[in-house]
Amino acid sequence: MPVLPTKLPHTGTTIFTVMSALAAEHGAINLGQGFPDFEADPALLQAVTSAMAAGHNQYPPMTGVPALRQAVAAKLNDLYGSAYDADRDITITAGGTQGLITALHACVGAGDEVIIIEPAYDSYDPAIRLAGAVPVGVAMTPDYRIDWPAVRAAITPRTRALVINTPHNPSGRVATHDDLIELERIAEQHDLFVVSDEVYEHMVFDEAPHQSVARFAALRERSFLISSFGKTFHVTGWKVGFVAAPPALSAAFRRLHQYTVFTVHTPTQHAIAAYLADPAPWQGLSAFYQAKRDAFRAALSHTQLKLLPCEGTYFQTVDYRAVSDLPELDFAKWLTTEIGVAAIPLSVFYQRPQERGHVRFCFAKRDTTLAEAIRRLEKLA
């Protein structure tokens, strides 16, 4: 047998797979992997059935069903005052991850450097390496804010792009208006592309606005904006998202998109397009998850777990050092096997693991699921 080559020699099984398997083995409540355990709106599910019955079962256009691209462009333009064109600037993708990988391949190549803000979602590093580029991790501040002086210090003549994620997974922090202004300055000064992961765009709490790259004209012109219908409508298994980018960037993106996935599940696209006619589901999402956040935080406040800020997403990070001095991965495994609740260690979201005594819970669960998880976590009081 010939030796199998690999472009990711140091990449193993994702932490989400590891912890989910451990949770299943021990009958633990899985608050690790970020997916809801409740169903989507029946109206959305019925819309898929109706689309199939209406004959929408063959290849759609490579860039996506026109009605869906039009709905996305209208929403972005209404929300952020942007100027995305449905035909030129919006591409429907097989989830946010495919959008991210394709965007990176479209704008970086061998030897280029790409800055990622750490802790960074675990698909960024391998996506950059698969493009032949070099990921350069820049750690957030101790309170999980973007360290802009450190970002500037990390830029070299080889720096080609920067990946930003807001609302931020895993910390739950949300980038501010000033953050985006500084990103805009840096991107213009150093002529960088920006890959903006905004899959939690409709989960921003306490009435704060989501600061999208779409709000800033100069930033929008050099950015790939990535989002996910799976996160927004509780259907993560559908793997449908979109990328918004100006014409030159979209053209480069589509050249690769057509030879990777080519296109995305047709009836689902038609269903989401119809469902987007009513903005209420996504407009109410922040309030829906804020109620879960508030209840979860109130219950955890009675344990020895220290709550860190949660401004967006459906993730709550805690400091467990009053409970244990175990390293983060070991603590997450202990929590799963002995307490019966799975979490994700933040140390795995760094190129060089940082041990700060922090793990992340997902509260995108039914109230009954969260209540049982709290009952078990109360052993840490």
Q: How does pLDDT run across 299-352, given as a tens digit for each residue?
A: 999 999 999 999 999 999 999 999 999 999 999 999 999 999 999 999 999 998
The 8 Å CB, 24+ separation contacts for 47-50 are: 47/270, 47/271, 47/272, 47/274, 47/275, 48/267, 48/268, 48/271, 50/271, 50/274
User: What's the rounded mean pLDDT across residues 357-373?
Assistant: 97
**For the whole model, what pTM was predicted?**
0.95
The DSSP secondary-structure symbol of 335 reads: I
Interhelix angle 266-275/42-53, rounded to 10 degrees, is: 130
Are residue 134 and residue 241 in the same domain, yes or no?
yes
Note whether residue 249 is domain-resident: yes
Of 187-196, 207-216, 252-261, 349-358, minimum mean pLDDT range? 349-358
pLDDT grade for 11, boundaries at 50, 70 and 90: confident
Q: Where are the extended beta strands (E) located within the chain?
A: 29-30, 90-93, 113-118, 134-139, 159-165, 193-197, 223-228, 241-244, 306-307, 315-319, 341-342, 344-345, 358-362
Note whether residue 346 is domain-resident: yes
The pLDDT, as a whole number, for residue 52 is 98
CATH of the domain at 199: 3.40.640.10
User: What's the rounded mean pLDDT across residues 147-172?
Assistant: 98
Are residue 246 and residue 300 in the same domain, yes or no?
no
At 274, list the tokens: 């119809």
Are residue 125 and residue 265 in the same domain, yes or no?
yes
- Measure the N-to-C terminal CA separation of the chain; round to a whole number of Å: 56
| Last residue of one domain, picked from the residues 254, 279, 304 | 279
- 9 has pLDDT over 90: no
Are residue 300 and residue 235 in the same domain, yes or no?
no
Could you tell me which of 275, 258, 252, 180 has the C-alpha nearest to residue 219? 180
Are residue 336 and residue 365 in the same domain, yes or no?
yes
Are residue 156 and residue 232 in the same domain, yes or no?
yes
Are residue 257 and residue 287 in the same domain, yes or no?
no
Are residue 275 and residue 289 in the same domain, yes or no?
no
The pLDDT, as a whole number, for residue 306 is 98
Could you tell me which of 152, 155, 94, 96 has the C-alpha nearest to residue 124? 96
**What's the pLDDT tens digit per position in 216-264?**
999 999 999 999 999 999 999 999 999 999 999 999 999 999 999 999 9
User: 204 lies in which domain range?
Assistant: 58-279
Are residue 315 and residue 269 in the same domain, yes or no?
no
Q: Which residue reads 């690999």 in tokens?
A: 6
Are residue 263 and residue 287 in the same domain, yes or no?
no
Note whether residue 48 is domain-resident: no
User: What's the rounded mean pLDDT across residues 346-369?
Assistant: 94
Asked if residues 53 and 183 have their Cβ atoms less than 8 Å apart, the reply is: no
| Last residue of one domain, picked from the residues 255, 279, 303 | 279
The pLDDT, as a whole number, for residue 144 is 97
The pLDDT, as a whole number, for residue 1 is 87
User: What's the rounded mean pLDDT across residues 51-78?
Assistant: 98
Asked if residues 29 and 342 have their Cβ atoms less than 8 Å apart, the reply is: yes
Note whether residue 5 is domain-resident: no
User: Which residues are 92's β-sheet partners?
Assistant: 242
Q: Which residue reads 């140390």 in tokens?
A: 347
Type of residue found at 102: T
Are residue 250 and residue 113 in the same domain, yes or no?
yes
Note whether residue 109 is domain-resident: yes
Asked if residues 259 and 105 have their Cβ atoms less than 8 Å apart, the reply is: no
**Residue 331 and residue 343: Cα distance in Å, rounded?**
9
| Last residue of one domain, picked from the residues 216, 248, 279 | 279
Could you tell me which of 95, 172, 195, 100 has the C-alpha nearest to residue 346? 172
Count of domains for the chain: 2
Note whether residue 7 is domain-resident: no
Please state, for a pLDDT cut of 90, what percent of the chain lies above it: 94
Averaged pLDDT of the chain? 96
CATH of the domain at 321: 3.90.1150.10
Note whether residue 371 is domain-resident: yes
Are residue 87 and residue 228 in the same domain, yes or no?
yes
Note whether residue 159 is domain-resident: yes
